[in-house]
Amino acid sequence: MNMMENSKTKNIITAIALSLVLASCKAPMATVIKDEVKENIPQNFNQAEQQDANANSGTTPWRQFFTDPNLVSLIETALKNNQELLITLQEIEIARSGVIAKKGKLSPTVSVGIGAGVKKAGRYTSEGAGDATTEIEPGREMPDPLGNFEGGLMANWEIDIWKKLRTEKESAVAHYLSTVEGKNFVLSNLIEEVADNYYELLALDNQLDIIQQYIKLQQRALEISKIQKEAAATTELAVKKFEAELAKSKASEYTIRQQITEKENQINALLGRYPQSIVRTRENFMSTIPPTVYTGIPSQLLANRPDIKQAELELKASKLDVEAARKEFYPSLEISATLGLEAFKPSYLVKMPESIAYNLVGELAGPLINKSAIKANFQTADAKQVQALYEYDKTVLNAYLDVANLMSKIKNIDQYYQLKSQETKALDQSIDIANQLFRNSRADYLEVLLNQRDALDAKMELIEAKQKQLSTVVDIYKSLGGGWK
């Protein structure tokens, strides 16, 4: 009768344990997300034109895209010394260490240890009474107090029955690869910044030349006005107006010189070095012809742009994080084992096999009652997954808009440059005419001043247009995914 009751009790305990384990296996489902932005990406950047998929400037290595040797030298220095790039490289090392750490969890943890202790049990306890009546050897009682000396190997291993640890490792790998793409994006941005600042510096150089030429022109006009005043052909007012214009031009010269200094130091900062002169050739700036840019098709942005690939890998990592967090609801199986020597006296440790001790335990356990922390971790991972999708969609959409806007800008800035060139030529001719009329007293000083100011403004704007031409080509090259290869 007792045997039957014991059997029923064991069956009940087993059933309860099994039901508890099964109850712990219930896990919520992750949010199902759909990437509509990627699926609906347009076929072309300009719907009125068809782009050739085989012609894409974004795949051109930067050393081939930039032909100015001074600019190439600056970029090479930046790639070696730029602090932001060096910081990004350390982020890659951190992510690589994360992969190694996750991979290590798949293997058993083995350690070695030694220990010593002493224990005295009360005489009127089951342990004390048992020790008092036990002999270590015939005629030799158990020592009191009882020492304990041990040493050996200890191992602990979580069996990845649900592939949770493998999922965590895959997530770490995806995050590591995203940091590599992040480095490539920093490279692309760095090359763009160096090139843009270099062209802005050349534009300032040319504007300085123009203002110096304008100063010489004003000085001649001032001399003529003084001569005409002495001949009573003009008044003191004209002389003062030309003097004021000359002072204004000289003040502008110092403003441009300061801008040149700041721009040089901005480039030096990108190159990770203290201020020094930037080697450059300013003479050919206005005759530089921007390279032709080919956009390819929008879907190529997914493979060419590092920021899109980085966002895609982060999305993949976030999905794996959700999967790993969901598997936290499942029971875990851990095996622990020890193997070594143990005795109450050091001299007995060498007596084998009597001193050999080992232990092997397997434990299957799962969350049962307090799951709030696990649920919170899962909900956090699930929300980050959705957030990563939105980040990816935003990156893809912004990349498409960048290219579309810059392609339109290239066309418009080219037209703007052509018209400014025509305006500059016409105003140069008007200056000569106005000066000749002024010398012959057939035009007053205001006409001369206005013509000179208009010509100066037009030349300054023409230089800015050339700089925008060159910088826009650099910007679209970067937007197409160029610069990091």
CA 96, chain centre distance (Å): 15
CATH of domain 109-159+334-365: 2.20.200
- Cis amide leading into 145 (omega within 30): yes
Tell whether the model's pLDDT for residue 272 goes beyond 70. Answer: yes
Contacts by residues 107-113 (CB-CB < 8 Å, ≥ 24 positions apart): 107/157, 108/155, 108/156, 108/157, 109/155, 109/156, 109/157, 110/153, 110/154, 110/155, 111/153, 111/154, 111/155, 112/151, 112/152, 112/153, 112/154, 113/151, 113/152, 113/154
Find residue 137's DSSP bridge partners.
140
Q: Identify the pLDDT of residue 1.
A: 44
What would the pLDDT profile of 203-243 be if each residue is shown by its tens digit? Answer: 999 999 999 999 998 898 888 788 878 877 677 887 888 89
**Axis crossing angle, helix 164-230 with helix 236-270, rounded to the nearest 10:** 160
How do the domains of the chain map onto residue ranges?
30-107+160-196+265-273+283-331+373-480, 109-159+334-365
Stronger pLDDT, 300 or 151, i.e. the higher one: 300
Confidence of residue 9 (pLDDT cuts 50, 70, 90): low
Tell whether the model's pLDDT for residue 174 goes beyond 90. Answer: yes
Q: How many helices (H) and strands (E) does the chain have?
A: 12, 6
Looking at the chain, the whole-number percentage of residues with pLDDT higher than 70 is 91
Tell whether the model's pLDDT for residue 177 goes beyond 90. Answer: yes
Tell which CATH architecture fits domain 30-107+160-196+265-273+283-331+373-480: Up-down Bundle (1.20)
Identify the CA nearest to 431 among candidates 450, 447, 451.
Answer: 451
Q: Identify the pLDDT of residue 30.
A: 82
Lowest model confidence (mean pLDDT) among 37-46, 174-183, 296-305: 37-46
Please give the model's pTM, rounded to 2 decimal places.
Answer: 0.84
Tell whether the model's pLDDT for residue 251 goes beyond 80. Answer: yes
Tell whether the model's pLDDT for residue 130 goes beyond 50. Answer: yes
Whole-angstrom distance, CA of residue 104 vs CA of residue 348:
37
Same fold, 30-107+160-196+265-273+283-331+373-480 and 109-159+334-365: no
What would the pLDDT profile of 54-67 be if each residue is shown by its tens digit? Answer: 889 999 999 999 99
